[in-house]
Amino acid sequence: MKQQCPFPATLSERNFFVKVLIDQEQINSRVINLGRELANEYEGRPLTIIGILAGSLVLLADLIRAIDVPHQVGLLQASSYRGKSTTPGPLQMNLDYLPDITDRNVLLVDDIFDTGKTMQTVLAQIGERQPRSLKSAVLLWKEEATEVDLTPDYHCFKIPDHFVVGYGLDFNNEYRHLPFIASLEPSDLV
């Protein structure tokens, strides 16, 4: 379904349309169900949920409210996309502000599992801090784009290999505010 972008595009002076892949109601329902799954898994176990900035912020905020067990929250910065790039570049990462995760169960939350290289690198770095267990959860999984021998432990939706925005995902740091997941047309990626 195509829908006019609800806010003016700041990347250009023209109006444009986005193709909605996953609507707000579908996202809300799946995140709540994932929260219940995770609450069952981690009940009575020390849990730390770590979100990868900035794309995971919307998912992280909704998910931590849906996980009805005590847990800590941490953030780390990791990014391989810069500006208007639609392909990943070198990964830049900052783990300086993570809480102590030694002997805790850790759930790493990210917006999208694309090639998998970011997740693989971050999991390896966090694993060096000796958590009791370490799993990953993502909103979106581009299964056909995966280039590593790794899959997310939890995912909300599998999507085709399109460039997507909304619900925390961006293009040139725009569109994170959209309450749905949308695919931009190639002409909008300039």
Question: Catalytic residue numbers?
Answer: 114
Locate all alpha helices (DSSP H) within 12-165, ordered by sequence. 24-42, 57-66, 117-127
Q: Per the structure block, which two tokens stand in for 74?
A: 């941490």
Q: What one-character-per-residue DSSP string does 143-188 give?
A: GGG--SS---SEEEEE--S--EEBTTB-BTTB-TT-SSEEEPPGGG
